[in-house]
Amino acid sequence: MPGKVLVLLTTVATCVVATGYFLSADNTATFRWLSGGFSETSSDIRPQITASQPTVTSRLGPQPPGDSALGFMLASVADQYSQNTRYPPWSTPLTQAQANGYRGNHFEPVTLPLGNSGQFTVTLEKYRFTQGEPILIGASVTGPQVVSDNLTATLEKTPTRDSVATTTLAMSDDAGFYQGSLDGDEEPAEYRLIVEANIDGKPVRNVSTLTIEPHLGDFEGLSDTYLTNNNLVIPVRFSAVQSGHYALSAQLYAGRRPIALLQAEQRLTTGSDTIDLKAHGTVLAGLKLQGTLTLSHLQIRKLPEKPGNRTHYGFGPEQGFSFSPPDLDRLRDTPASDPESEQRAALLQQLADKF
């Protein structure tokens, strides 16, 4: 399998660079990034087309990529892969941008543009709801439009488009903000939320999606943390409603500073059980941490028992769990040992060295 991955990587890299050279053969102004690199200004990569000049096809055909270009690409991939192999897959460093992107239950507001710079926006407090949990809906209409006093929100099951619940969103202030709720007591599945408004005498529909999840169980807190084998072990207590294979992920913070993304998989039985998250020494050593740490954005997934079944999601408390760690000075910034990953990194470097 690693050999196939390397062959595929080399083939894709060659095709991408070769395609760029083919396209740049008669349009060097547009594709000069192939030889000169990207500029920080957008004008440097904007196509420059002269209408009065006819297009001429080169008889020489596409030129193959130079050894230096392909070698540089492979060397960059090899270096990035080598850096990633420092960390075990269940404990990886986390930047603020990554922490924001890994939020597992974030709903991105859906906005429709209206005339005269107006907007029709629908927002939810999250994307996944537990069965029976109320679904709070907010909507706003901005601009000079004439809008009705009430909006209608309808929940449709996909893909059948069957309507399962309807509610009215009432205007809550003079700024054009509407709110309402649905009880969310529907079977676990994916749904379409349709919010309809009468704007300037015409119906306008804003469509978004959400999911209703079964109740997987309850997070019961943390057991005492400890150090072993260059890891900070954080035992998370969870009481599962059904036995099965579960995957847990969480973000480790020091104050507001994200440190690591932690993950673990384990088979659980019904009732109270413990899943051990581990923060490796490579993400903690040398940070000079003081005070408490926090485990935030806990997300647990019940994995399908057989192909075709849905993965179900559950989430920990919004405030997470804070704890006082043991003395972390014993942890070392020693790369994780993974012979298979090290072999892949060595093979990538060997390919890069041939160019």
* 30, 35, 41, 46: CA torsion to nearest 10: 0
pLDDT score at 355:
63
- pLDDT, tens digit, 9 for 90 and up, residues 192-207: 999 999 999 999 999 9
pLDDT in tens, 57-100: 444 455 555 556 666 665 555 555 555 678 999 999 999 999 98
Q: What's the length of the chain?
A: 355
In this predicted structure, the answer to whether residue 7 has a pLDDT above a threshold of 70 is: no
pLDDT, residue 67, reads: 54
- The predicted-structure confidence for 142-157, as pLDDT tens digits, reads as follows 999 999 889 999 999 9
pLDDT, one tens digit per residue, over 259-311 is 999 999 999 999 999 999 999 999 999 898 889 999 999 999 999 998 889 99
Residues 96-106, mean pLDDT to the nearest whole number: 86
Q: What is the pLDDT of residue 2?
A: 47
Residue that wins the pLDDT comparison between 257 and 61? 257
**From CA 300, how far away is CA 250, in angstroms rounded?**
9
Percent of the chain with pLDDT over 70: 71
| Both tokens assigned to 251 | 């973000």
